[in-house]
Chains A and B, each alone.
Chain A
Amino acid sequence: MLYNFIFFASLIFGTNLSLAAEAPPFSLTAINLKERINLSDYQGQTIILDFWASWCAPCLSSLPVYQTWHDAGKVQVVSINVDDDLKDAIAMIKALNLSFPVAYDYDKSVAKLFDVYALPVAFLIDKNGTIKLRHEGYKSTDATQLLQRIQKINSIH
């Protein structure tokens, strides 16, 4: 059934966290940096906060794109992995050669905090810590639209 295939890419749930709201603070361990990170560490930068898992195909399409933007200095990427098994997350970080912080949300408490019920979900957060966009699912055509939004947010500040 098609539903089963695209379920995690397109499911829309939990929109209680409204746009223009301040991004809720969290503190998690970044797997690849081996240190604890706080959202407030990135205050003053435009951030993509991306929730993903190794079994989510659209997530795996989006991560290399975010890595490119991160490397080019277009945006600070902070990602949050929600795999049940940490080993799966580590394997994927290596496979995709991710260098931006990948925090492990072992109990999905941060996912719940951001009303993330399905994957992928990316939040654009401005330099003041305000959520400017909630983007659910990912198709290759989304990249242009997202980058335009990032540039727009960057130009305002």
Chain B
Amino acid sequence: MIKKLVKIIVLSICCNQVSAATCSCAGVPLLSSMEASSADSGKWYLSVTYEEHNINDLVSGSDDINDETERARESRSLLLQADYGVNESWSITGMLTYIDHRRQIGISQGSFAEAKGLGDGLILVKYTPQRINLFSSWEYSFGFGSKIPLGDDDYKINSVSVSEDLQPSSGSYSWLAWGYVTYAFDQAARSQIFLSANTSINNENGRNYQFGNEYNFSVGTSYHLQNDWAISAQVRYRESLPDERADVTIPNTGGEWVDFMPAIQYQLNQSSGIKLAARIPLYRNLEGAIQFTTSDSISLTYSYAL
């Protein structure tokens, strides 16, 4: 485990907004995956992210349990994000996802399940009354929007619906709220700290399943090196309420997580960059007797500004 952590740290060394997912969510939790930027007036920012997310840690409350079941659970996702700055203060963010959930229970060939397809989408309107500029070291931004169930939430294998956590889409609309504050320590804004918070208020899908509401709070720092590299790191607290079906709580869903999210970015030219990011669990306190949860995730993002 330690070797694995060291490997991830060495590979990625630092972060900003990184993708996340948990065992209790079918789609990718989009708000956590969203880049924090608010597009400048008249500008487009486009990004594509590939994420690999392993959900193999077995946890009881906050205690790790040794899993001897040979189970392997992985989610691969592709996220396309577009931001457009309507004017100096208002911008719009849209996101599409393609999800590939995989689960292997035991070692027999028939124990492998895979569900893939279009996931949830997101649209968010952001308001940025203050940006970092020559006269201000602060930037504030907040936004409201909706998660849109674009994909399949009744994916079947051999005519049998897969479990909710394997469905590509959540199947329901959610209300989203998002906020971001950053402070630059120097004129060039090379060193920054930031606070970010978001919430997702979820609704019941067509199969009467409701993913638990989600709350995220992050604090982080970023630093631009003199060359084309930048590094960042953040610690994120995440709380997810238990899922419900027809108003009945689903056991072994929901909980609290604290993650370390490092990232490193390289600027390819004035218009584009790539970012390698990771998520490493620091602490979790999960509902119910036992839950599988995130062991690690890693993502690669390519961004382009028009």
Contacts and interface: CB of A to CB of B under 8 A. Distances in A.
Given A2-B272, A5-B267, A6-B305, A12 B40 contact: yes
A83 B187 contact: yes
A66 B205 CA distance: 61
B224 interface: yes
Given A11-B131, A12-B41, A13-B131, A5 B188 contact: no
B42 to A, nearest CB: 7
A139 B265 CA distance: 21
Given A2-B273, A5-B273, A6-B270, A108 B188 contact: no
Q: Bin chain A's interface residue count.
A: 20 to 34
A73 to B, nearest CB: 29
Contacts of B38: 3
B222 A1 contact: yes
Give the interface SS of chain A, mostly helix, strand, loop or mixed.
loop
Interface residues of B, number: 38
A19 to B, nearest CB: 16
Contact of A3 (B37, B133, B271): B37
Interface in A93-150: 108, 111-112, 116-119, 139
Interface stretch (A28-36, A39-47, A53-61): A53-61
B159 to A, nearest CB: 45
A60 to B, nearest CB: 12
Contact of A5 (B88, B132, B230): B230
Contact of B265 (A1, A116, A118): A1
A71 interface: no
Contacts, number: 84
Interface in B106-128: none
Contacts of B156: none
Interface string B222-250: 10100000101000000000000000000
B16 interface: yes
B47 A10 contact: no
B45 interface: yes
Interface in B261-306: 265, 267, 270-273, 275, 303-305
A55 B45 contact: no
Interface string B115-155: 00000000000000001111100000000000000000000
B230 A3 contact: no
A12 B134 contact: no
Contacts of B272: 2
B190 to A, nearest CB: 7
B87 to A, nearest CB: 9
Contacts of A111: 134
A111 B273 CA distance: 30
Given A55-B188, A82-B134, A5 B16 contact: no
B213 interface: no
B270 A53 contact: no
B189 interface: yes
B40 A11 contact: yes
B132 A7 contact: yes
A86 B132 CA distance: 21
A56 B270 contact: no
A155 interface: no
B36 interface: yes
A13 B187 CA distance: 17
Nearest to A111: B134
Given A2-B37, A116-B134, A8 B189 contact: yes
B192 interface: yes
A117 B134 contact: yes
Interface string B26-64: 000000000111101111010100000000000000000
Contacts of A117: 133-135
5 contacts: A1-B37, A1-B303, A3-B38, A4-B222, A12-B41
Nearest 8 CB-CB pairings of A with B? A3-B37, A55-B188, A2-B303, A117-B133, A12-B41, A2-B273, A5-B267, A1-B16
